[in-house]
Amino acid sequence: MRAVIQKSFGGPEVLEVAEIEQPQPLSGEVLVRVHASSVNPVDVVVRAGYLPLLGQPPFGVGWDISGVVEVAGPGARYAVGEEVYGMPFFPRAATGYAEYVAAPSRQLARKPKSLNHIEAAALPLAALTAWQGLVDKADIKAGDRVLIHRAAGGVGHFAVQIAKARGAYVIALASAAKHDFVRGLGADEVIDYRTTDYTEVLHDLDVVFDSNADGERSARVLKPGGVLVSIMEHANPERAAQVEAAGRRFAGVSVEPDYAALEAIAELVDAGKIRPHVSETLRLEDAGKAHELVGSGQTVGKVVLAVR
C-alpha cells in the first residue's frame, strides 16, 4: 500500500510516499481502508525532530483518519463496511497518512453520519484536544465565561463550538480577518489580539483555553479558582506552580485516543452543534505542502489529505 513516511528528521521535503506492507489487524482490531487523513501541528513538530515521540526515523506520519472497515479482526467491535474515525496509537506509532491503518476497535468510533470522510478526518486529534481540555479537565458548564486562544485554528475552532454546545459564554481571540469565521462558529465576543491586549479588557473568567503557550498572561484574566487549560505548556511545571500559587487551577492537556469522547463528539456533530472547517484538501503526494501550511500557524480550521 501507499503511505507517507520519513527517513530522516527535517523540513517538509523529508516526507515521501512509499510502498510499504499493508498492516494486519490483531484480535480486537480492524483494518481501516482510509479515505482521508488530517494534518495536525504535532505531525509537523514530530517530523522536524522537535518532539521525539517515535524515536529515530524511518517511521510513518500522522494519526487522524476516517475510513471504512475493510477487515474486522477476531472479536473486533466494528463490522466490515462500517465507517469509522479516530487517532489510533497516538502518541506512539504514527500510521495515519496511509491507504490502510490497523487500529484497536476502542481507539475508533463510528464516523458522524452527517459528514463525509474528508470532514470526519478533520476531527479526531483536534476535537479531542478541545474536548479533553474543556470537558474532562475544566468541566465547563452553562454560563461559564471562557476565553479561547487561536480560535480560528484547528483546535481552537472546535474549542469554540464545544464550549458553545455546553452553554458557555465564549470570548475568542483571532486576527481581524478571521473574526467573521469565528463569529460564525458561535463566539459571543471576538478580540483582535493584534490591536487589543486581552489582559487589559478581560477579568474574572471561569476558564481560559490556551493553545498559544500564553499561560502567564492567560492566568491573569481568570477568577480565583478559575481553570487554565494549557495545550502547549502542559509539560511546564514552572507554569503549573506559578498558576497554582496564584490561586488558579492549572490543567495541562495531552490528548489521548478516546472512543467515548469521539462518540459524544459525533453526536454533537450530527445534532448540528459542531462542524469541522476544512480549509484545504490535498493528496498524499502533497503531504509536504500540507505541512508547510499547517506549520505556518495561519491556516483556518484544518488541512486534510484525501487518500483516495
Interface residues toward a copy of itself, by CB under 8 A: 26-28, 53, 73-77, 91, 104-106, 132, 136, 234-235, 252-260
Closer residue to a copy of itself (CB): 9 or 259:
259
Using the minimum distance from each CB to a copy of itself, give the nearer residue, 62 or 73: 73
Pick 132 or 299: Cβ nearer a copy of itself: 132
Provide the minimum distance between the beta carbon of 269 and a copy of itself in the complex, in angstroms, as a whole number: 19
Instruction: Give the nearer residue to a copy of itself in terms of CB position, either 19 or 21.
Output: 21
**Closest CB to a copy of itself among 111 and 249?**
249
Instruction: Find the shortest distance in angstroms from Cβ 296 to a copy of itself.
Output: 24
Task: Report, in Å, the least distance between residue 71 CB and a copy of itself.
Answer: 12
Nearest distance in Å: CB 62, a copy of itself: 18
HEC sequence for the chain: CEEEEECCCCCHHHEEEEECCCCCCCCCEEEEEEEEEEECHHHHHHHHCCCCCCCCCCEECCCEEEEEEEEECCCCCCCCCCEEEECCCCCCCCCCCECEEEEEHHHEEECCCCCCHHHHHCCHHHHHHHHHHHHHHCCCCCCCEEEECCCCCHHHHHHHHHHHHCCCEEEEECCHHHHHHHHHHCCCEEECCCCCCHHHHCCCEEEEEECCCCHHHHHHCEEEEEEEEECCCCCCHHHHHHHHHCCCEEEECCCCCCHHHHHHHHHHHHCCCCCCCEEEEEEHHHHHHHHHHHHCCCCCCEEEEECC
Q: Least distance in Å: CB of 55 to a copy of itself? A: 12
Smaller CB separation from a copy of itself, 74 or 272: 74
Min dist. Cβ of residue 107 to a copy of itself (A) = 9
